[in-house]
């Protein structure tokens, strides 16, 4: 099997999961790499330790410059992985780049501990949805096997063979046309300037969704503050726990509609952003490939400014969302009826936080492209 000799795999997991497994997760990565090399006589360069600076350096280099059909991303899916903002950011980051190049197969999740949300994904968690859409490898029973057992070794071989097959299929994949919406006509490819104009129109609409999200969060916060004041008054009257319980149950009922609205807005924002992410990355890649000329400089500058302004506005909203999420701890302890409400709010807030990771990546790529243009072109510079 002749491959390009530059194959790499990025292993994403939480270190605590690996500690719980006594290092088996890292050893699995090395076993797969060794099996791959045995099959192909070519090395699979596996990056395992995210604490090592080389992981981050290679991650950026491969993602930006060499995400061809030879770079895998293998997230080890566990309940703890789904709670890790860093792990969630990495999978969203890779998925956007892979989709923009038509290389979704390079995202290869490994389900290591059972995750209840994967059995019946409800669309509220975009990371869970991404994993559910992929043909993930189920390792939940294999992790219990002895590492030298025939069952374990056969499973390692099967996964290594799958990697080779994916590399063969993706070797000559051409990037799909850059589009910003799923209903765009692939046979009618707009130019770079038209794509940027479409993006400038779309970005403010996402910011509007976030603004509505923030308004709903503030409404919820005001009701919670009012309920806390009522509890203070009830305590002063000697109403006791019965008084507190009545106020908490009333609050839970009052919050149902705004919390449901918050959930819908969070899902809409996150789903729309992830759907358009490959298109925006494609536009940035076009600018990088075609360069910033005197003819398109104004339009490129306007596009870059729109993206970065929107990212900055939403970053402020995300900061408020984080603060609001931290304030929910005390609310969930008020009554059993409040716990379900708080879970829904946390899920909605997570969707917003995940979306910021996508915008951060746009900003980073814009800064790099702008920097390249400044280095390569004399005269007036174009900055993002």
CB 72 within 8 A of CB 29: no
Residue owning tokens 């069952």:
151
Measuring CA to CA, how many Å separate 173 from each of 23, 100, 101, 103, 170? 36, 12, 8, 7, 5
Q: Which of 124, 89, 123, 95 is nearest to 109 (CA)?
A: 95
- Spans of the chain, pLDDT less than 50: 1-2, 186, 374-384
**What are residue 73's DSSP bridge partners?**
10, 107
- Phi, psi of 205, deg, nearest 5: -65, -35
The pLDDT value given to residue 280:
84
Pairing of strands 110-111, 45-47: unpaired
Model pTM? 0.78
The pLDDT value given to residue 161:
96
- Does an H or E element contain 47, and which? strand 45-47
Instruction: Give the whole-angstrom CA distance, residue 384 versus residue 272.
Output: 24
Read off the pLDDT of residues 204-241 as tens digits, 9 standing for 90 and up. Answer: 777 788 788 888 888 888 888 888 888 888 888 888 88
SS3 138: strand
Cβ-proximal residues to 172 (8 Å cutoff; 6+ apart), any chain: 69
- Which alpha helices (H) appear in the chain, and where do they start and end? 15-20, 24-40, 53-65, 79-83, 85-100, 116-119, 126-133, 150-170, 192-236, 240-290, 297-326, 328-332, 336-376
Q: Which of 7, 72, 76 is nearest to 41 (CA)?
A: 7
- Does an H or E element contain 8, and which? strand 8-12
The pLDDT value given to residue 110:
96
The pLDDT value given to residue 198:
72
Torsion angle, alpha carbons of 340, 345, 347, 350, to 10: -150
Instruction: Give the whole-angstrom CA distance, residue 73 versus residue 53.
Output: 18
SS3 68: coil
Instruction: Give the whole-angstrom CA distance, residue 363 versus residue 321.
Output: 21
CB 119 within 8 A of CB 89: no
The pLDDT value given to residue 243:
83
Q: Which of 375, 359, 325 is nearest to 345 (CA)?
A: 325
The pLDDT value given to residue 58:
77
The pLDDT value given to residue 26:
94
Query: How many CB atoms neighbour CB 253 within 10 A?
Result: 11
């Amino acid at each position: 099997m002749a491959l390009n000799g530059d194959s790499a795999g990025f292993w994403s997991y939480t270190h605590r999961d690996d500690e719980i497994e006594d290092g088996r997760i890292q050893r699995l990565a090395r076993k797969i790499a060794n099996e791959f090399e045995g099959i192909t006589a070519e090395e699979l360069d596996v990056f395992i330790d995210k604490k090592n600076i080389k992981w981050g350096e290679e991650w950026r280099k491969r993602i930006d410059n060499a995400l061809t059909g030879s770079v895998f991303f293998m997230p080890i899916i566990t309940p703890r992985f789904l709670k890790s903002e860093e792990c969630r950011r990495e999978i969203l980051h890779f998925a956007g780049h892979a989709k923009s190049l038509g290389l979704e197969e390079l995202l290869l999740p490994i389900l290591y501990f059972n995750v209840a949300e994967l059995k019946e994904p409800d669309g509220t968690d975009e990371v869970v949805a991404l994993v559910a859409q992929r043909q993930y490898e189920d390792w939940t029973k294999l992790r219990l096997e002895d590492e030298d057992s025939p069952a374990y070794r056969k499973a390692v071989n099967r996964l290594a063979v799958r990697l080779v097959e994916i590399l063969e299929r993706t070797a000559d994949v051409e990037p799909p046309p850059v589009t910003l919406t799923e209903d765009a006509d692939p046979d009618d490819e707009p130019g770079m300037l038209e794509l940027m104009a479409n993006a400038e129109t779309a970005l403010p609409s996402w910011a509007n969704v976030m603004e509505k999200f923030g308004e709903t969060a503030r409404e919820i916060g005001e009701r919670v503050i009012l309920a806390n004041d009522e509890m203070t008054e009830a305590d002063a009257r000697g109403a006791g726990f019965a008084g507190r319980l009545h106020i908490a149950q009333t609050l839970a009922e009052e919050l149902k509609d705004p919390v449901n609205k918050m959930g819908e807005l969070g899902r809409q924002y996150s789903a729309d952003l992830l759907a358009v992410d490959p298109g925006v990355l494609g536009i940035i890649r076009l600018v990088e490939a075609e360069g910033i000329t005197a003819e398109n400089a104004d339009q490129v500058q306007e596009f870059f400014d729109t993206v970065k302004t929107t990212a900055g506005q939403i970053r402020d909203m995300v900061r408020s969302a984080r603060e609001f999420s931290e304030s929910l701890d005390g609310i969930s302890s008020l009554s059993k009826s409040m716990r379900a409400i708080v879970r829904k709010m946390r899920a909605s807030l997570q969707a917003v936080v995940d979306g910021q990771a996508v915008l951060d990546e746009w900003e980073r790529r814009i800064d790099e492209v702008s920097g390249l243009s400044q280095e390569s072109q004399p005269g007036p510079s174009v900055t993002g």
